Amino acid sequence: MQPFRFIIPLGLVFAACGPASMQGQAPAAPAATQLSASQKAAIGRKIWQNECGGTVDGLTSWNAGEEFPSLGIGHFIWYPAGFNGRFEESWPPFIDYARRQGARPPALALEKRAPWASKAAFQADFRSTRMQELRSWLAANVTLQTDFIIARSRAALPKVLAAAPASDRGRLQANYNKVAATPNGTYALIDYVNFKGDGTQASERYNGKGWGLLQVLGSMKEVPAGQAAAAEFAASAKRMLDRRISNAPPARGEARWREGWHNRCSTYARPL
């Protein structure tokens, strides 16, 4: 994998969000950092591997113990009719994004709600023509999905800062910039928002405790920028996910995901 070469240094992207802008209000959204096609491709491959094992079949999944399917390299959540879960639904926003970019998703992808009422119905339909068409379209549009995931990540920092007390915003932004100082740290920030959200939604909490980007940045220990910050982000993410498991309703059995979640977070500390 080629090393990342950023057109705009990430440390400068957030310069407009200085201390003066944090007195009682969140700063404006930062300017977008430009990533080359090879950089985005590398991030997309990592996310596809994390979520789907890099397989085409994994692009349409229904995880055990969940009430909804997860589609695409980012396992975008899609709720069936009549079900409204606590987690942010990301498949409809992805399809809206894809269509705005001029893409033409297959008919199945355009349905308002997931057309399977249960995991059993989903599995019975798995080898159907329409499901194979959907997987083929997803496999052919990995760059589009990666662009959507990156866009969500870039939108997360202003939301995190807006949700935090004014006194915490400087430290949260500083921690973000420290992590973003390395290629693997940049990947970590992009992947984690797709993986566990930005942490600003009250519905994505157990016992009032969240596990998203807001909480991970907030629980980081003081470390220098660069690889040390990427490693601490990975460690903080594991702590927040362990807290999630401890606070989750027992019926969800979330401890079964601990090893996989930790393994994923460990990739954040490894140089790309």
Nearest to 198 by CA among 216, 180, 185: 216
Question: What is the structure's pLDDT at 84?
Answer: 86
State pLDDT tens for residues 47-99: 999 899 999 999 999 998 899 999 999 999 999 999 988 888 999 999 999 99
State pLDDT tens for residues 225-240: 999 999 999 999 999 9
Rounded-to-10 torsion of CA 61, 156, 226, 37: 60
Question: What is the structure's pLDDT at 3?
Answer: 36
State pLDDT tens for residues 152-182: 888 899 999 999 999 999 999 999 999 988 8
Q: What mean pLDDT comes out for the span 2-6?
A: 35
Question: What is the structure's pLDDT at 34?
Answer: 56
What does the domain layout of the chain look like in residue ranges?
A: 35-155, 164-272
Question: What is the structure's pLDDT at 12?
Answer: 31
Question: What is the structure's pLDDT at 22?
Answer: 35
State pLDDT tens for residues 188-203: 999 999 899 999 999 8
Question: What is the structure's pLDDT at 86?
Answer: 81
How many residues in the chain?
A: 272
**pLDDT, greater one: 3 or 209:** 209
Residue 269 has pLDDT above 70, yes or no: yes
